[in-house]
Each structure stands twice: as structure tokens, then as C-alpha cells.
Amino acid sequence: MLHRAREARLEGERPPVAPRAEIGASWDRVLRSGIDPEQTTQSVLLESDEIEHRRRSSALGEVMPLLSDGLVSIADSARQIMVVTDVEGRVLWRQGNPGVLRQADGICLEEGASWAEAITGTNAIGTALASRAPVQVHSSEHFVRTLHAWTCAAAPVRDPRDGRLIGIVDVSGPVSTFHPMTLALVGSVARLAESELRNRHLLAIDRLRSVAAPLLARLGGRALAVDRHGWLAGVTGMPPVSRLPLPKSLQAGPVWLPSLGMCRVEPLSGGWLIQVADEPSDAAPRRVVLDLSRPAGLAVSVKGPVGSSTQRLSPRHAELLYALALHPEGRTASELAEDLFGDATRTVTVRAEISRLRRHMAEVLAHRPYRFGEGVEVEVIPPEHPGDLLPRSTAPVVVRARTTV
């Protein structure tokens, strides 16, 4: 039935049975990319020194012993292998059953190979990267026929310091080794790895706090000590925040931050000391870019007078900013509730979400009515295909845009 469903999709016909939603969505993406279902899965391998560089640069290297302890012995006994990739889908590590490792060489599932959907079609590694969610791909669910003799399960691993995806952990093997619990096992080990990274981060915050405490005690005015990912280690003269959004290329000196305005930044061991300007600054943000082009990588960038700041967005916050971008004159809470939920009475939810957004974008968002601030240029980057605009959203404002753009 899987084979027949795949063949029907390739021929543009109605399949006898619908594939699972995540598999159908992947097939659609791969078909649009023009991948040949009869191609091989060969890819240009990274050089060994590049592989080593990526291993050293990845936080996954810190938790490889944990991943190995959790998966390799089980994979070996089940005639499978564990594969760990970076965020581009490049294989950095693989371990497991020696016989299956030799078979994996035949499909280029080896160190340095690319397993992104755009290269090898629907597969657990690439599809987990595209969807940012755990996925199991079995036999004919793979888009490329070469992989129909394989089964695989993969889960994303995120860096708890900033929520970014840092890679994929996968278990793969011959189709005869399929087990319905493999995905749950892989997902559990991925979460365990994230927990280990989180514990290491908390220890680093404690070390930074001990360095920052005497400095903050001597300062007047408003100031914060944060680590390099913006997590708070100390504060004086202002209410504490759990995390401060920071520009990717933060440097010492005067910096404009969307949530605080003009600040002065100094380096600390393991973080930054940020002093907020006491006097109001005439320097205002000039431009906001709302990037909706990638369903799994929604972001908003605020271009200030000194540098810029980019913040990842939840789907709900992306819907809110999109609605405000469509209405520069502003929207009331009830109008936004109608835009997002089709129910004008859900104003409490809207106000709560706007309040969360303003913690990071206070210099950009105005209220009464809710809108982008005066003089702020707003650009929306839509996806290539209108139907891919926030594809999981049921907000009326988004649904209308998909059919009218």
C-alpha cells in the first residue's frame, strides 16, 4: 500500500490510501524541488578536516558519549546504526552494527555525506530537519527508490541556550529491523542530550554570576549581566528578565537593542555587561523584516541605528506580526482576535501574546491601537509558494492570504 500510494503521488493521481501527513508533506516538498525518484543517494563528501572542524564546533560533541551510551548498544543488537548529523544534514558521526555500517556505505550514509531532503529526498534525517519534529520513515515512504530497503527514525536536538536546532540523531537499518518503538527511543535520547546541555549551561551561568555580582553592586543606573546567549546572570536598577535577545554579532561599545534602546556593552568572562542609557535616545529603530519564507525558521529582524537584532518567532507570534504588518494603521485587541481566531471575544489571549512580544520588541511595537511604531519600515518576506505561508496556521488572516496572494 505504501508503494502504491507513492507511485500514485509521482504520477499525479489520487493514491489508494493517503500517506501519513508528515510523509505527504515531505513528498510535496521533494516533488517541487525536482528530485528524481530513480536517482542514487550519493553526495559529495566533506573533507576529513572539515568534518573534524564541524565536530569541534558543534555542541553535539559534548553529548556524544551520552548518545552513544543510549543508542549504540541497542542499535548494534538490533542490526541498526546510530547516525548524528549537523543542522545541514551532514553526517558527523555514525556507530553501530559493523555489517549494517558496510551496507550504509552503499547508500552513502557515511561521515561527511549530506542527507538533507533537497539532496536525498524524503528520509528521516532530512525530513526531521525540514519539519523540526521527530519522524520515522519506512520502506516506500522514502522518496528515492534506492532507500526502500531501509527503515529509519530521527529526532531533532536543540540547544537549550537559544532554542536553535543543532543537529539530528537517527537510527537506521535494513527494512526487516523496523520496530514501532524506535522513534520513541530516539526521541527520548535526544531529549536526554538536551537536558545534559541544559545542566552544563546552568553551571556556566552560576560561574558568570559570581564574576558579575561585584561589578553590578558598584554600578548606578540600570545594568544587566548576561551570557553570550542572553540568559540573565545578574541585574541592578531594573526588573529582571529571563533572557535578553542579543544581536548575532554583538561587540563591545554602544549598541541599540530592541527591548532596551541604546546601551553600552562590555565583555565579561563568559558573557556581557550591559548598561542601559539613562537619557532617552533620539536614535530609533528604522526597519523591521518579518521572514516567513521558511516554515520551520520563522524570524523577525529589527534594524536599529547601531546594528541589528534577529529573533526567532513562534507560529503564534508570526501570525500576530503578520496581521500588524497588513494593517499599518493599527488593530484593536478585538480586531486581532478576529484575525487570529475568528472570535473577537478572545482579547485576553491577544493581550497576553502582545505583552510577551513587547518584552523583546518594546522599541518597535506601539499600542492603543496595537501597531508598529511611527517611522518604522516593515518588510514581509513571504514563502516562494503562497500556499506555504505559515502552513499549519488556521488564523483567518493567514488563510485569506494563502488564497488571495
| pLDDT tens track for 159-195 | 998 888 999 999 999 999 999 999 999 999 999 999 9
Q: What is the pLDDT of residues 279-329, one digit of tens each?
A: 655 555 578 889 988 766 688 877 766 566 777 888 899 999 999 999 999
In CATH terms, are 2-199 and 287-404 the same topology? no
Of residues 6 and 219, more confidence is placed in: 219
Q: What does the pLDDT read at residue 294?
A: 75
End-to-end CA separation in angstroms for the chain: 36
Count how many Cα atoms sit within 13 Å of the Cα of residue 352 in the half-sphere of its side chain.
5
pTM for this prediction: 0.71
Helix (H, G, I), strand (E, B) or coil at 376: coil
- The CATH number assigned to the domain with range 287-404 reads 1.10.10
Which one is predicted more confidently, 261 or 380?
380
Superfamily classification of domain 2-199: GAF domain (3.30.450.40)
Q: Report residue 375's pLDDT band, with 50, 70 and 90 as the boundaries.
A: confident
Query: Is residue 165 within 8 Å of 129, Cβ to Cβ?
Result: yes
Q: Write down the domain spans for the chain.
A: 2-199, 219-276, 287-404
The pLDDT tens digits for 336-349 are 999 999 999 999 99
Beta-strand pair 287-291/377-381: parallel
Q: Please check the confidence at residue 8 and state whether its pLDDT lies above 80.
A: no
At position 125, the amino acid (one-letter code) is: I
Torsion of CA 96, 188, 58, 137, to 10 degrees: 60
Contacts of 128 (CB under 8 A, 6+ apart): 134, 135, 154, 155, 156, 168, 170
Distance CA 303, CA 290 (A): 11
